[in-house]
Amino acid sequence: MQFSASKKLFYFYVAFAAIVILALALRLPKLAQRPMHTDEAVHAVKFAQLLEQHTYHYNPFEFHGPKLVYATLISAWLQGQKTFADVTEQTLRFVPVIFGTALILILLLATTIFRKRTLLFAALLTTLSPAFVFYSRYYIMEILLVFFTFASMLCGYKYLQTKKLLWAIGTGLSLGLMHATKETCILVWFAMAVAIVLTMLLSKKNVRALQDALNWRHVFIGAVAGILVSMLLFSAFLHNPRGILDSILTFKNYITRGIGGFQEHIYPWDQYFKWLLLTKCAARPLWTEVFIFILAIPGFFGIFSQRHLSDEAKPFLQFLAFYTLVLTLIYMLLPYKTPWSLLGFYHGFILIAAVGVNMLHTWARYTLSKIFLILMLAIGIAHLTWQSWQLNFKYAADDSNPYVYSHTDNDFYRLVDGIKEITSYWPENKNTFIEVVCPDSDYWPLPWYLRDYTNVAYSCEFDFNLPAGTLIVTMPTLEGDLLKKLFEIPPPGQRNMYIPFFDHGIRLRPGVEIDLYVRKDVWDEWYRRSP
């Protein structure tokens, strides 16, 4: 059956809308189900400063760029939340949900680059990728960085096609927002620059086309737009001018970390592919996104062989292929690795996998081969869908989940519930003095869960000059110091008995336990009144 051009376009937009609805169905539900990761809680506390004190001070050593917290401000305003106690997990995680969905919607700018079939599969694979679903529900910067990266690519290419100032400004703003999102943008810029050079070397025609397309006045205006938006965000809209300088000086710190200057998060070169391709734990399913990499093989072949590619799409796809390979190589060589960092280069593989689907469709000339292709795609898509649902709703905080990394355990909820239950029967309630003492500030994400408590003291070691808390949260490694503070330091007659609330330690995250001790009079009151 043949369809008119207008009907084909209508069906394309209907299919695309259905994919976006599917993306939201996988990203929006049960945002509070998974415990907050340490990084999420740290960013949340940083956001609280902006929300309540209307100030932001960029820290060049931690927390990354300001874009995430400013975007969260909009999310809180929309829900009428004015204090940190009002803020919920949904408020925070709604931000990456929006950018994760926008990463799919922005594909509509690429209708002159990709064929419509390719665009639909690019949208579908991004929608269903377990990694992209998981980190689109995760309150960190990575999904925002991927969005602004892709936006800069599309706006840049649209400018080369149209020579319109609007696209030059869009490119500059996207690059500036990349900088304001996360310091690792410098790796992405380097990969982009190398990819541009390699693409131009591949064809002298590309060099001439680039020279003809550039209007240096437009380039200057776009660059100014990007620099201004970055400066405004890092300086908290000029309230902290020092933030602008720190946003440059910070690269030294993050380069040191990336090349292994810190001992944490150091892995072999192939660790990203272990997370993506093969994760198997006892009594748990095998997690793998190998289907996308299989589809990317014919995608790379088609791009570099330049078969079945339009002259309009060819330069962009060649650039995308080079960019993906260069960025992958950079991340492989850097010893510092965290699973969310893979999103940058993996997004390139997803787009090229969509090109691969189009290549396979072009090569499938016979009925039998077309049936085989349809079955393969159906099985692969069904498997990705099943994995996304399982990893994000059943195993969202499980150690077998490849994207769960040094994550807060579900057991941690027992600690939070215990504190809330005890204080609910004590007259001071949320003004109860809670002393939290953990080495190396290893008490996160507790500050998030106790955000509506007004009298909580956090420290790395016991202060023997201060009275003990009504409730004490600490770790087994500090048990000796705890006993000293409770029974050796106070004079006779001023010593209080403390009772451990749980029979055994709470599992904060893999290899880390935390305990709760309750002063006996508080314990007795809870024991007397609790049903």
Confidence of residue 493 (pLDDT cuts 50, 70, 90): low
326/208 same-domain check = yes
386/505 same-domain check = no
What are the tens digits of pLDDT across the range 432-443? Answer: 999 999 998 899
Residue 95 falls inside a structural domain: yes
Cβ burial, residue 77 (10 Å; 0-12/13-18/19+): exposed
Which residue, of 331, 366, 394, is where some domain finishes?
394
What are the tens digits of pLDDT across the range 269-306? Answer: 999 999 999 888 878 899 999 999 999 999 999 999 87
The phi-psi region of residue 288 (left if phi > 0; otherwise alpha if psi is between -120 and 50; otherwise beta) is beta
315/434 same-domain check = no
pLDDT of residue 257: 67
d(CA 402, CA 378): 24
Residue 454 falls inside a structural domain: yes
Write down the residue that tokens 């799409």 correspond to: 313
Beta strands in 72-147 (DSSP E): none
d(CA 150, CA 171): 10
Q: Can you state the percent helix, strand and coil of the chain, rounding each to 5? A: 65, 5, 30
517/368 same-domain check = no
Residue 458 falls inside a structural domain: yes
380/497 same-domain check = no
Sign of the alpha-carbon dihedral angle for 446, 401, 355, 8:
negative
Whether 366 shows a pLDDT value over 90: the answer reads no
181/268 same-domain check = yes
214/299 same-domain check = yes
Confidence of residue 229 (pLDDT cuts 50, 70, 90): very high
Domain, as residue range, for 384:
5-394
Cα-Cα-Cα-Cα dihedral of 347, 38, 99, 332, to 10°? -10
Strands 512-519 and 498-500: antiparallel
361/437 same-domain check = no
How many distinct structural domains can be found in the chain? 2
Residue 41 falls inside a structural domain: yes
Q: Give mean pLDDT, residues 240-269.
A: 79
d(CA 45, CA 72): 12
As a whole number of angstroms, the longest Cα–Cα distance in the chain is: 93
d(CA 525, CA 156): 66
Of the chain, the percentage scoring pLDDT greater than 70 comes to 96
- Evaluate whether 461 touches 494 at the Cβ level (below 8 Å): no
274/345 same-domain check = yes
337/475 same-domain check = no
| Listed residue (184, 239, 249, 186) closest to 70, CA to CA | 239
Residue 253 falls inside a structural domain: yes
pLDDT of residue 263: 66
Confidence of residue 490 (pLDDT cuts 50, 70, 90): confident
Which residue, of 394, 428, 447, is where some domain finishes?
394
d(CA 402, CA 425): 41
44/171 same-domain check = yes
Beta strands in 187-305 (DSSP E): 279-280, 286-287
Confidence of residue 1 (pLDDT cuts 50, 70, 90): low
Residue 308 falls inside a structural domain: yes
What are the tens digits of pLDDT across the range 174-198? Answer: 999 999 999 999 999 999 999 999 9
Cβ burial, residue 383 (10 Å; 0-12/13-18/19+): middle
210/262 same-domain check = yes
pLDDT of residue 259: 66
Q: Give mean pLDDT, residues 213-229.
A: 92
Residue 401 falls inside a structural domain: no
| Listed residue (452, 451, 487) closest to 468, CA to CA | 487
d(CA 388, CA 509): 23
Confidence of residue 260 (pLDDT cuts 50, 70, 90): low
Which residue, of 342, 366, 394, is where some domain finishes?
394
Residue 399 falls inside a structural domain: no
